[in-house]
Amino acid sequence: MKISDLFEEISLALLANKARSGLTILGIVIGIGSVIAMISIGQGASGSIQSNIQSMGSNLVEVMPGTQKSSGVSSGWGSSQSLTLADADAIAAEVPTAKAVAGEVSGRYQVTSKGKNTNTSVVGTVASYPVIRNVEIDLGYFISDQNVKSMSKVAVLGSGARDDLFGEGVDAVGQVIRIKGIEFKVIGVTKAKGGTGMGSQDDMIFIPLSTAQKFLVGNNYLSTINIQAQDAESMTELQAQVTNLLLSRHNISNPDNADFRIMNQADIVASASSITDTLTLLLGAIAGISLIVGGIGIMNMMLTTVTERTREIGLRKAIGAKRKDISLQFLVEAVMLTFIGGAVGIFIGWLASIAVTKFSGVATKVSLTSVLLAFGVSAAIGIIFGYYPARRAAKLNPITALRYE
């Protein structure tokens, strides 16, 4: 039997039962469609989280105080007091791979303007901060070295904080805000970055480091030291050098007892992707179940078809069809169903992911890998679930098949 004849036979058989073929295909369409849509949501989420992290600054290494080992509940700001401005200065002076260093103290405070108030993150830092953390100024200026030296009560608002305190798009430069009851003059507003969720820089308010230490915290410790490496390759070296420097400065001989921890961007991205990977896997598994159900639908239809067409199979064998001809006909029929279902499912899944992005704003990404995977899986389902019915058809005895009522 020639290939072209095989396909002609199969198309005729599928068209002979349009409703049943259509419904069986629908099962696969839903399965493949949801796999594509779910994976695209998972991968989109992981993509947007990663780009958010990247937007926090390039080649960034953060040094943070270690967890407080004495009693007490950690309360953010100053919970463990091990890093000082002197540490930051020492890193800047002694570590050659550190391109820029900015110490910071941060905490959440109630911030008010005329009649409006918000609870947001206030960051006390120095002039080099915007370079390291990718902050861009929209209006006015960022905090200068002079501001830090003279302990000025000036503030730079994140675009989101500005929107909350003064209204969207209002020029807040020159206005006054109160943080913890203390008046600050607004000298600048940052450009919106569009990141969402915890730690978005758009919602932050920046003030001079010295001012924050004196008026808000009341001590001389830092909550983070931000360091920018010269390039991506020097990150590991930088991390090692900073660790050694701080250990010797803090008189700690055993690195296991370090009173600080160092995180670089790669670590943050890795921990974030492990979460999104789990999410993708979970969504994919849910979709996979519907794919298996679709496959069982194929098997059910093929078994019904084999039973219904027993006499036809008997006749085909009587006039010279070999086992291979019969099994191939039913196997390819099943594969064709799943293949059509797979193609339509990929299209529907792609449309669904576009709709999700449009209506919920969640980023989605249909990757070539997931499309190829879906095609492979649908073909495999056709073969797996079509094999048994095809074998059953091929094994039919022509005499009993011809007599079948």
Question: Which residues of this chain interact with another protein, rule CB under 8 A?
Answer: 1-2, 5, 9, 12, 16, 311-312, 314-325, 398-399, 402
Q: 251 Cβ partners below 8 Å, 6+ apart?
A: none
Residue 37 or 394: the one with the smaller Cβ distance to another protein is 394
For another protein, give the closer residue by CB, 149 or 322: 322
Alpha-carbon distance of 357 to 193, in angstroms, equals: 19
Minimum gap (Å) between residue 303 Cβ and another protein: 20
CA distances from 13 to 29, 61, 332, 339 (A): 20, 65, 11, 16
Six-digit token string for 212:
């924050």
CB of 231 or CB of 308, closer to another protein: 308
Minimum CB–partner distance for residue 328 and another protein (Å): 12
Closest by CA position to 258, among listed 268, 245, 267, 269: 245
Percentages of the chain per state (helix, strand, coil), in multiples of 5: 60, 15, 25
Minimum CB distance to another protein smaller for 207 or for 328: 328
Q: What's the CA gap between 57 and 404, in Å, rounded?
A: 75
End-to-end CA distance of the chain: 28
Q: Which is nearer to another protein, 154 or 390 (CB)?
A: 390
Which of 120/329 has CB closer to another protein?
A: 329
Q: Give the shortest CB-317-to-another protein separation in angstroms.
A: 7
Output the smallest distance, CB 302 to another protein, in A. Answer: 18
Tokens of 289: 């179940």
Q: Which is nearer to another protein, 182 or 318 (CB)?
A: 318
C-alpha triplet 344, 393, 339: angle, nearest 5° = 10
In the complex, least distance from residue 397 CB atom to another protein, rounded to whole angstroms: 8
Nearer to another protein, 185 or 311 (CB): 311
3-class secondary-structure state, position 112: strand
Relative orientation angle of helices 368-395 and 265-308, to the nearest 10 degrees:
20
Q: Minimum CB separation from another protein for residue 333, in Å?
A: 15
Q: Are 58 and 228 in contact (CB under 8 A)?
A: yes
Closest approach, Cβ 355 to another protein, in A, equals 40
As measured in angstroms, the least distance from the Cβ of 336 to another protein is 18
Distances (CA, A) of 163 to 183, 201, 261, 347, 363: 19, 13, 35, 41, 24
Alpha helices in 56-158 (DSSP H): 85-94, 129-133, 145-149
Q: How far is the CB of 26 from another protein (least distance, A)?
A: 23
Cα three-residue angle 194-195-196, rounded to 5 degrees: 115
Distant-in-sequence, close-in-space partners of 399: CB < 8 Å, separation ≥ 6: 314
**Nearer Cβ to another protein, position 99 or 316?**
316
